């Protein structure tokens, strides 16, 4: 039987992130994607002002009850941006109730970047997210998110491998099976993904070029492609490489267009992703 993924995150109607990114990308990987929207926002929260926000937490129990009655279950559950602490607790419950045996639980703790939490989140939210990370087979934080979840200071540049290792070990000790950390850099012109599983002696890396400009939504693009590639049978390191190359290709399409400050033009390179997994 073909694999089916459930992804739980918000609908930002405009802004190229969360579900509007996850659905097309996982679909392009050839994987059926079911959704559980955590909230509906008029736009994402990073740079737009006066956005609307409807929390859908109250809808979640009824949706999951129905799925259980219909015996609907998933081969992977991938969570991204979640709207509230209570919602995170509900997602931990979803992990138990609609997971097939062997279900891969992939948690992108989308809540912070560059040393700061996104608008609307606080330390208590990060602590709740750490609990969800502890229930994950794969947790996909950037350095900021990792530091917040394990109570380490955030170091933006000039850190060494011992710092990265400490963050990853602490995430594993929360209960996560594998940590896939993005945005790791020891050399000015290279950026990469660090991977460490429980019991591993050493961190594995996939490094790629660092582009002159960051674009928005890249964490969601990476996590979606990682999930799709993993479901297509890639190893975690292979899936990280596929996802990182795809993300960088999308960023390259975006550079130079200042009108596109809110997102990343991943649509232009979806055919490359599909071809690589064909």
Give the tokens for residue 266: 């991943």
Nearer to ligand PXL, 67 or 226 (CB): 226
Q: How far is the CB of 39 from ligand PXL (least distance, A)?
A: 7
Comparing CB distances to ligand PXL, the nearer of 219 and 250 is 219
Q: 192 or 217: whose CB is closer to ligand PXL?
A: 217
Residue 135 main-chain phi, psi, to 5 deg: -100, 5
Taken in order 182, 19, 148, 128, the sign of the CA dihedral is negative
Instruction: Pick the closest to residue 222 from 197, 199, 241, 203 (CA basis).
Output: 241
CB of 115 to ligand PXL, least distance (A): 14
Other beta carbons within 10 angstroms of residue 233's beta carbon come to: 10
* Smallest separation (angstroms) from ligand PXL to the CB of 117: 10
| Ramachandran sector of residue 64 (left: φ over 0; alpha: ψ -120 to 50; beta: rest) | alpha
Residue 10 CB, shortest distance to ligand PXL, in Å, is: 5
Cβ atoms of 46 and 70 within 8 Å: the answer is no
Residue closer to ligand PXL by CB (options 46, 90) is 46
Residue 113, CA distances (Å) to 4, 130, 177, 219, 229 in order: 30, 16, 23, 10, 24
Instruction: Check residue 271 and report its DSSP letter.
Output: H
Instruction: Report, in Å, the least distance between residue 182 CB and ligand PXL.
Output: 12
Pairing of strands 99-107, 138-139: parallel
Q: How many beta carbons lie within 10 A of that of residue 47, not counting itself? A: 12
Output 81 or 206, the one with its CB closest to ligand PXL.
81
* C-alpha span between 125 and 111 (Å, rounded): 9
State whether residue 67 is helix, strand or coil: helix
Measured from the CB atom, the residue of 223 and 277 that comes closer to ligand PXL is: 223
* Shortest CB 122 distance to ligand PXL, Å: 15
Site residues (vs ligand PXL, CB under 6 A): 10, 12, 17-18, 41, 44-46, 81, 110, 118, 217, 219-220
DSSP state of 142: B
Q: 41 or 239: whose CB is closer to ligand PXL?
A: 41
Q: How far is the CB of 217 from ligand PXL (least distance, A)?
A: 5
């Amino acid at each position: 039987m073909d694999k089916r993924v459930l992804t739980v995150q918000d609908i930002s109607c405009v802004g190229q992130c969360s579900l509007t990114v996850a659905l097309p990308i996982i679909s392009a990987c050839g994987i059926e994607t079911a959704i559980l929207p955590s909230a509906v926002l008029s736009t994402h929260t990073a740079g737009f002002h006066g956005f609307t926000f409807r929390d859908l937490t109250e809808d979640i129990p009824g949706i999951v009850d129905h799925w259980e009655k219909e015996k609907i279950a998933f081969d992977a559950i991938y969570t991204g941006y979640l709207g509230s602490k209570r919602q995170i607790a509900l997602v931990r419950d979803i992990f138990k109730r609609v997971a097939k045996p062997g279900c891969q639980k992939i948690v992108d703790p989308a809540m912070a970047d560059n040393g700061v939490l996104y608008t609307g989140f606080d330390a208590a939210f990060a602590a709740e997210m750490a609990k969800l990370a502890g229930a994950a087979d794969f947790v996909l934080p950037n350095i900021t998110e990792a530091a917040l979840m394990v109570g380490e200071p955030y170091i933006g540049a000039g850190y060494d491998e011992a710092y990265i290792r400490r963050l990853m070990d602490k995430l594993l000790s929360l209960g996560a099976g594998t940590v896939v950390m993005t945005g790791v850099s020891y050399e000015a012109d290279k950026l990469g993904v660090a991977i460490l599983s429980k019991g591993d002696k050493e961190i594995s890396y996939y490094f790629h070029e660092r582009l002159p400009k960051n674009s928005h939504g890249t964490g969601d693009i990476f996590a979606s492609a990682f999930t799709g590639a993993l479901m297509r049978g890639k190893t975690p390191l292979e899936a990280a490489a596929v996802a990182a190359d795809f993300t960088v290709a999308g960023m390259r399409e975006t550079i130079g267009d200042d009108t596109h400050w809110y997102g990343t033009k991943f649509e232009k390179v979806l055919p490359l992703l599909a071809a690589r997994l064909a």
